[in-house]
Amino acid sequence: MTRLAVFDCDGTLIDGQAAVCEAMRTGFATVGLPVPPDHDIRRIVGLSLPVAIRGLAPDAAPELVSQAVEAYRAAFFAMRQEGRVEEPLYDGIRELLEALRGNGWDLAVATGKSQRGADRALTTHGIADLFVSVQTADHHPSKPDPAMLQAAMDSVGAAPDHTVMIGDTAYDMAMARSAGVRAIGVGWGYHAPEELYAGGADEVADDPDHLEELLR
Catalytic residues: 8, 10
Q: What burial class does residue 214 get, using C-beta atoms within 10 Å of its C-beta: 0-12 exposed, 13-18 middle, 19+ buried? A: middle
Q: Helices (DSSP H) in 103-207: which residue ranges?
A: 115-124, 147-156, 170-179, 193-199
Buried b (16+ CB within 10 A) or exposed e, 193-211: eebbbebbbbbbbeebebb
Provide the 3-class DSSP secondary structure of residue 14: strand
Please name the residues in contact with 61: beta carbons below 8 A apart, sequence gap of 6 or more: none
Q: CA nearest 174: which of 131, 203, 144, 210?
A: 144
SS3 content of the chain, % helix, strand, coil (to 5): 50, 15, 35
Q: Are 213 and 96 in contact (CB under 8 A)?
A: no
Please name the residues in contact with 141: beta carbons below 8 A apart, sequence gap of 6 or more: 48, 147
**Could you give the CA distance from residue 215 to residue 89 in angstroms, rounded to a whole number?**
20
